[in-house]
Structures are given as C-alpha cells and as structure tokens.
Amino acid sequence: MTVNDITKVLEELAPLAHAEDFDNVGLLVGNPNMEVNGVLVTLDTLENVVDEAIEKNCNLIVSFHPIIFKGLKKLTGSNYVERVVIKAIANNIAIYSMHTALDNSKMGVNAKICEVLGLENPQILIPKSSTIKKLTTYAPLAEVDKIKEALFNAGAGEIGKYSHCSYSLEGVGSFKPENGANPAVGNVGEVHFEKETQINVILSFEKEKQVLKALLEAHPYEEVAYEIFTIENTNQDIGMGMIGNLPSEMDEIDFLLLVKKRMNASVVRHSKLLGKKVKKVAVLGGSGAFAIGAAMKAGADVFVTSDIKYHEFYQAENQMVIADIGHFETEQFTKDLLVDYLTKKIPNFAVRLSESITNPIKYL
C-alpha cells in the first residue's frame, strides 16, 4: 500500500475538509506515492517518535497533532519542529496529521472520551455550520432512476442513519437547441417541451465535487441544468465536542474521581461543586473553553475538557461544573482509536501504537 492508499482510509473516518480553517492537516512530510512498510500512530511527532518509527521499520507516522503548524522559512535544526522534519526527510519517513478533522468526526476524539467514561447516546455538542448542501436537478422521466442511483453512489442523499434520501416533483421543461448544439432530445432551432422530474438531494459539503461529477456523467443532456447551495440545517455528524448521559446518576465528587481514574489524570481542576447529581456530561478533547456556553445551553451537569484559564471557570455561573483534566489527558486515547480503526480496515498491514510519551506537562 502507498501513503495515499492509507490516508484515503483515514479520510473515511475524518475527511480533511472537516478540519478547522486555522489548522494544518493532511500529509505534511513525504511522497504520497511512496510504498509503506508500516504505520506508527502517535499523538505528537517528536524526535523520539521518529527514532521509534525508524526502529520499528515504519515509514509512515500518523499523528494527531501537526508537527508543522505555521509555515517554515528555513530548515536548520534550530528548534524541535525543524529537527523532526529534517530527521523524517533524511530517513524517508512520511508524516500525516489529522487534528481537528478527527476532532470534528462523530467517531473521533470526543466519541472515544465518551466511550472511556461510559456515556450513553452521545451527540455532537457544537455541530459544524455550513456543512450541508442541497442539489436540485431536472431529468427526463426515463432517466430518473439511473441519475438518482448515480447521485446516491457518489454520497448524496444521506441523512443521519438513512441513505438514498431524495424528493421528486414532475413537471415540464423547455429548451431550444441553438446552432452547434447536439441535443439528446429535440431538434436544433426548435423549442422542445419535455416531461421531466425535479430531483432534490442533500449532500455533505466535501462531497460536492464527486456528486456533481456523477450527475454530469449519468445525465443524458448535453447541458445539465442544476442548482446547488448551502443550507443552514444542523449536521449532527460533524462538529466539536459531544454530550451524553451516564447510565445512572452520580454524586459530583464521585464522578470527578471516576474521570480522574479512567482518564489517567494526575489532577482535576474544577469549578465550584454545586451539590447536584451528575447525569448529563459534555466532553471536548483539547482546549475547550470556547464550548463552555454550548455545554451549559445543552444542559450538561459537568463539562470535561482542558486548558481552562482562571477567569473562564467563572463562566460556569453556578449552573454546571467545569472539569479541566489536562490537554494530553483528554486526547491520549486518540492513538488507540486510530490503531483500532486502521487494524480493522487493513488487518494484514503493520500498524503500531507508539510507546513514546509525548506529554510535555509534568506534575509534582
């Protein structure tokens, strides 16, 4: 398998188009056509991780955090980022990063936290906006089924757990082929009226190109009439954070101790305890202060995240408990998730879990 083959599998889990605009995801170092000997999965790509990849004969590193975040103007080895890139290139090792693409996946970082904490029926906390598009096109009656099937096969018409979703209306279309046209029906120079079906389907924004390609290939007309636009419906399959329910209510302190144990946290920093039972829990891996309001609005009793600043704890407003367990701690199981995923998708391929501990924060 090539680097490109494996990254295509990873994009089924976390399409790069779902990453945040500020992020730097995808293949950061290496040739996409290089044949892969083995994959090493890590949270961060540091020098010791590259050394581990060399030792384990893995020439593709799949990393959650991108080692290159801002543009590099030189490669002199003056800092850890440059040294990692130089070492990877020197040893012909490719580096691929997923970061916020995986954060926004319904089966990604936050789904894994929910699994570890035992939360039931998890839902996306902050659905990503402007991710759903609607396609309307018009087809002669005899071609409708063929065109619909082509659109569905390209990924259109998926709503939650349902596929092949569409809505159709019958009417009459008109057109006049001018000189040089090669109409599938009608004659050049004559106005033609054709019984047609209006086909309406929705699609995820990153599938627009492939869906339009399928439409144009399947449609019999020389010039295909269609409209495509972004709609404001919320998309519960893409977004930051998740919220779910505990199987049964717990006391606040008992729940925080559970979080500390299951998430292997050295310490839990939290806002004022409210003396309420905990049932609904919101989670967000990594820096989650921006989601405090969303967690409160969703009715969370506790919000588990990291990197909360002093004044941000006040935003709990005595309505919920904010629990900061550390950045690494919220994301540490991400590499287990990726190893499990790749092992299931490509079972006869060498996928290794990095043993390197990359957490830069230590506690006394």
Confidence of residue 137 (pLDDT cuts 50, 70, 90): very high
Q: Which residues are annotated as a binding site for a divalent metal cation?
A: 65, 103, 327, 331
Pair (192, 267) in one structural domain: no
Q: What is the pLDDT of residue 234?
A: 84
The pLDDT of 211-215, averaged and rounded, is: 98
The pLDDT of 147-166, averaged and rounded, is: 95
Is 363 part of a structural domain of the chain?
Answer: no
Pair (262, 244) in one structural domain: yes
Domain boundary among 198, 231, 264: 231
Q: Which residues are annotated as a binding site?
A: 65, 103, 327, 331
Q: Is 337 exposed, middle or buried (0-12, 13-18, 19+ CB in 10 A)?
A: buried
Tell me the C-alpha distance between 125 and 356, whole Å: 31
Q: Look up the CATH number of the domain holding residue 113.
A: 3.40.1390.30
Pair (71, 115) in one structural domain: no
The pLDDT of 219-248, averaged and rounded, is: 94
Q: Is the dihedral of CA 43, 95, 109, 130 positive or negative?
A: positive
Domain boundary among 168, 200, 231: 231
Nearest to 282 by CA among 126, 125, 108, 128: 125
Pair (252, 171) in one structural domain: no
Q: What is the pLDDT of residue 236?
A: 85
The pLDDT mean for the chain works out to: 96
Is 359 part of a structural domain of the chain?
Answer: no
What percent of the chain is modeled with pLDDT above 70?
100
Pair (72, 144) in one structural domain: no
The pLDDT of 110-137, averaged and rounded, is: 96
Pair (120, 253) in one structural domain: yes
Is 308 part of a structural domain of the chain?
Answer: yes
Structural domain of residue 7, as residue ranges? 3-98+333-353
Q: What is the pLDDT of residue 261?
A: 98
Inter-residue contact 111 to 122 (CB < 8 Å):
yes
Is 360 part of a structural domain of the chain?
Answer: no
The pLDDT of 28-37, averaged and rounded, is: 98
Q: What is the pLDDT of residue 105?
A: 96
Confidence of residue 235 (pLDDT cuts 50, 70, 90): confident
Q: How many domains is the chain built from?
A: 3
User: Reading across the β-sheet that carries 26-29, which strands appear in turn?
Assistant: 26-29, 94-97, 60-63, 39-42, 351-353
The model's pLDDT over 187-204, given as tens digits with 9 standing for 90+, comes to: 999 999 999 999 999 999
Q: Which two tokens stand for residue 277?
A: 């039972």
The model's pLDDT over 289-343, given as tens digits with 9 standing for 90+, comes to: 999 999 999 999 999 999 999 999 999 999 999 999 999 999 999 999 999 999 9
The model's pLDDT over 49-66, given as tens digits with 9 standing for 90+, comes to: 999 999 999 999 999 999
Q: Look up the CATH number of the domain holding residue 192.
A: 3.30.70.120
Pair (22, 46) in one structural domain: yes
Pair (226, 137) in one structural domain: yes
Is 156 part of a structural domain of the chain?
Answer: yes
Q: What is the pLDDT of residue 244?
A: 98
Is 290 part of a structural domain of the chain?
Answer: yes
Nearest to 97 by CA among 19, 12, 163, 169: 19
Pair (142, 116) in one structural domain: no
Domain boundary among 173, 201, 231: 231
Is 198 part of a structural domain of the chain?
Answer: yes
Q: What is the pLDDT of residue 167?
A: 97
Q: What is the pLDDT of residue 239?
A: 96
Pair (124, 136) in one structural domain: no
Q: What is the pLDDT of residue 52?
A: 98
According to DSSP, residue 164 is labeled S
Is 341 part of a structural domain of the chain?
Answer: yes
Look at residue 20 and tell me whether its pLDDT is greater than 90: yes
Question: For residue 212, what is the enclosing H or E element?
Answer: helix 208-218
Pair (35, 170) in one structural domain: no
Pair (123, 171) in one structural domain: no
